[in-house]
Amino acid sequence: MALTMTRTRTQTTLTKLAQMLADINGELSFITDVLEHPLVTLLEGDQARLQDRRAILERNRAAVCITIRQFDPELDPETVGESIAWFKTRRRKPSSRQSAYLAWLMRQS
């Protein structure tokens, strides 16, 4: 089948949705790791912000999965992996990533 404009748009949208889902999965995984194995001291407010962020991401993940299924019912969103593109840092130490992420969350509140 030749690629029509509609098919091209659908593929582009599916690609963007899959990347969005991978970013959400990556951030959810990171938050889970921070909560379960913190490399920096978590303050009470940090834990609450992380729990709130996790709840937001889980709602977003469910919405993106539903949208992907609407575009292509045969595509299983559960097969989409994780991406670290959502969090780019020049530091390589995981503790600095946690600190940077917690600082970012504090600025968001």
Residue by residue, pLDDT tens for the chain (109 residues) are 444 556 667 788 888 999 999 999 999 998 898 888 877 777 888 888 889 999 999 999 999 999 999 888 888 888 888 887 777 655 555 556 777 787 778 777 6
Within-domain flag for 6: no
Within-domain flag for 20: yes
| Full residue range of the structural domain in which residue 33 is found | 13-108
Of 64, 52, 72, 51, nearest to 22 (Cα)?
64
Within-domain flag for 54: yes
pTM given for the model: 0.78
Residues with Cβ within 8 Å of 105's Cβ and at least 6 positions away in sequence, in order, are 46, 49, 50, 53
* Residue-level pLDDT at 92: 57
